[in-house]
Structure 1
Amino acid sequence: MPNKKNNNNLVPVGDLLGQVEKMREKSVTKRRIEENARPGETYEQVASRLRQNDDKMANQTTQKKNPSIRKPPKGDEQLDFFVPTLYDVGTKDSRSIMDVAVFRLSKKDKRAGEVIRYDLPDGHVQVSAGAAGMASVWDYDLVLMAVSHLTEAMNRYREGKGDKPGRVFHPHVADILKFCRRSDGGRQKDDLVDALIRLNTTHVAVERVRKSRNGHAETVSEGESLISRYKVIASAATGKPESVEIELPDWLYKEVVEAKNPDVLTVHPDFFLIEPGIGRFIYRLARRAAGKRQAKWSFQTVYERSGSTGTPKKFTFTIRKLIEANDLPEYDLAEEAGQSGPLLVMTYRGNELMVNGS
């Protein structure tokens, strides 16, 4: 017969998962506070300032006539629920790839079979789309989630608190939608399948000139898809996907797992609420170029690095709408006159500034 006493001591799986999630929330919140602390501030002062900034941004968003940030879905958690990580194509010595769009920024234009080429000072990046269309900046949310969990798993492994993670990520569809701050609807679930196909068939090739071990210059060409493989497990009764498997490409996995200092950057949770694709690109650009300081880029350079199919005039109009709304997470946007045309000024909120120009 079952032991009654032991049964009474068992913790329901749901309660256990809830406890684990609460511990994770506390850890992530602590990390965010530590990263944003100013000299002389106490833990409580930093936490209070971040809450005030988040509340201010939320109020500004509701007051804008043309906000860039959409409303969170029903049941969305608090902003400190998670702090995902941002990773872009390339090894540690090719971080300039973070300044180009390796995906399309338009929801309407699928760009099937198209190629985008970015010429850089020491080489070029080429993005090629398959028949299903080029992966979008919204599709890339799945890569961000996979890298976020891989980074956390590696941190636990290095601390001796878990096993070394593999390349395959096994999330439930509901967890993906929650992480990406999307509504839990049937269409959203179906769209995930299309996103996985596009990520798997969008190829990124990189050619760069670098110094070899003997000091001679050499050209290195390499390329992979945004994800190596995927599997979708659906309900036989409804046909709706319930969970997926995502295998990260070798270059990305090695960078997070083998590098001493993985080239990852944190993303504000509201990144997933940015509605315009160009807005998402500019946030990523600011995160990479400005960091916790300030960066100035010409409108023309931003246009060239975005891979946009629109005209420069239309692109400039969109940038000015973003500047007018000025509601992107973490960064204030402004326009400044430059010698060769207007400049986009991206300024991190809240710190003393040093300027990084490009």
Structure 2
Amino acid sequence: MTRTQEAQPDLFLAVIGDAPFRDGLDLMAIPVVSLAKGRRVEPIRFTRGESSVEVSAPPHIGIATIWDFDFVLYAVSQLNAAVNRGETPPSTINAPAHDILRAVRRDVGGKDYQRMREALDRLKATTIRTTIRANGKRGETFSLIERVTWAEDAFGKPLGVSITLPDWLYRAVIDHRVLSLDSRYFDLSGGLARWLYRVSRKQAGDRPDGWRWTLADLHQRSGVTRPLKSFAFDLRKLIEANPLPEYWLTAYADDVGTECVHVTRRSKLAADHPGHETPLKSRRLDPAL
């Protein structure tokens, strides 16, 4: 067995079987990844009040995509499962590449391992500069993945991979600043649908009245390069299809005619509503936002 990089000395072994998926609370409603499948080289910038986010990556690699982010979700979820067992895990997890791909509902052919490598490279190369959680007083800079170490056989086939989370995200797990994700999230094929589910999960949560945004606000939060008109067209189609797990989308105009979106937890809808969904199991209360 050979390793492409020096081994990380303090490893957390991923559990066998599926750990419930979790997402970092502070990353769910801000643009930290590209929603397009093609390479994005233009930085993502988002400002709200005194808080700001800037995301960049070397042009030859490109900014990590929302599909790449699945591997961050896997690492967060494994560490969170350990925390829930009363452990204090290190920031590095170690798991067979096959298990990670299966967990995030990917195939396990040769091309899939190569795509996984490329995704982890983009996550490692993507740099986030943010003042979120700092009240605008100080900033932090980190990559979505701090370090990646591969184990290969003599023929170069990936056997295992170690993923180290950045301290900013690792602290979020230790401090319980994570939210559960419905596993059906991985069935969403579109970047906009995946992003809107994460935003809805964070903002609407379990609130009886859900959450509301203007289309212009969602456009800004998404970080997409498409003009508002094109974004609004895609969003209307998404609302018509209503594919998000757990949440129901409704388009409406406010008192001054501004186009808006209302998202409601499906379990909060009337029992005879076409979007109503009975939760499969009761959840613990979401942390205070």
Give the TM-score category using the shorter length.
Answer: 0.7 to 0.9
User: Could you report, residue by residue, the CA deviation over 1:91-146 in whole angstroms, capped at 9, with x for unpaired residues?
Assistant: xxxx4x531120000002x113x311101112211111123110011111111110
Pairing partner for 2:203 from 289, 294, 299: 289
Offset, 1:164: 3.0
Any stretches of 5+ residues in structure 1 without a counterpart?
1-19, 25-80, 89-94, 212-217, 354-358
Q: Describe how 1:137-216 pairs up with structure 2 within 5 A.
A: 137-156=66-85, 158=86, 164-207=88-131
Once the two structures are TM-superposed, the CA of residue 341 in structure 1 deviates from its matched residue by 2.0
Distance 2:81 2:19 in 1: 11
After superposition, residues 91-130 of structure 1 pair within 5 angstroms as 95=26, 97-108=27-38, 110-112=39-41, 114-130=42-58
Match for 2:224 among 308, 314, 333?
308
CA contact (8 A) 1:190 1:240 kept: no
- Hey, what does 1:255 align to over in structure 2? 172
Alignment map for 1:1-358 (pairs within 5 Å): 83-88=20-25, 95=26, 97-108=27-38, 110-112=39-41, 114-130=42-58, 131-156=60-85, 158=86, 164-207=88-131, 219-237=137-155, 239-257=156-174, 259=175, 262-293=176-207, 294-338=210-254, 339=256, 341-351=258-268
Please tell me whether Structure 1 or Structure 2 has the larger radius of gyration of its CA atoms: 1
SS in structure 1 opposite 2:131?
Answer: strand
Report the 3-state secondary structure (helix = DSSP H, G, I; strand = E; otherwise coil) of the residue aligned with 1:138: coil
- TM-aligned CA distance change 1:209 to 1:99, over 3 Å: closer
Amino acid at match of 1:107: K
RMSD: 2.0
Runs of 4+ residues over 6 Å off in structure 1? none
Q: For the structure 1 residues 220 and 274, does the alpha-carbon distance in structure 2 shift closer, same or farther, using more than 3 Å as the test?
A: same
Amino-acid identity (%): 37
CA distance in 2, matches of 1:147, 1:87: 7
Quote the offset at 1:255 in angstroms. Answer: 2.6
C-alpha spacing 1:164/1:289, structure 2 compared with 1 (3 Å): closer
Rounded Cα–Cα distance in structure 2 between residues aligned with 1:127 and 1:204: 5
Task: Provide the secondary structure at the position in 1 that maps to 2:154.
Answer: coil
Give the deviation of 1:252 after TM superposition: 1.5
Q: Which amino acid aligns with 1:231?
A: T
Answer yes or no: is the 8 Å Cα contact 2:35–2:66 preserved in 1: yes
Maintained 8 Å contact 2:19/2:81? no
In 1, Cα distance between the equivalents of 2:157 and 2:240? Answer: 41
Give the aligned length: 252
Q: TM-score, normalised by structure 2?
A: 0.82
User: Match for 1:100: what amino acid?
Assistant: I
Query: Which letter does structure 2 place at the counterpart of 1:303?
Result: H
Q: How many angstroms apart in 2 are the aligned matches of 1:134 and 1:246?
A: 18
Q: 1:252-282: per-residue Cα shift (whole Å, max 9, x none)?
A: 222322x2xx110000001111111010110
Task: Check 1:333–1:305 CA distance in 2 against 1; reply closer, same or farther (3 A cut).
Answer: same
Shift of 1:335: 0.3
Q: Is the 8 A contact 2:206 2:265 kept in 1?
A: yes
User: If the length of structure 1 is used for normalisation, what is the TM-score?
Assistant: 0.66
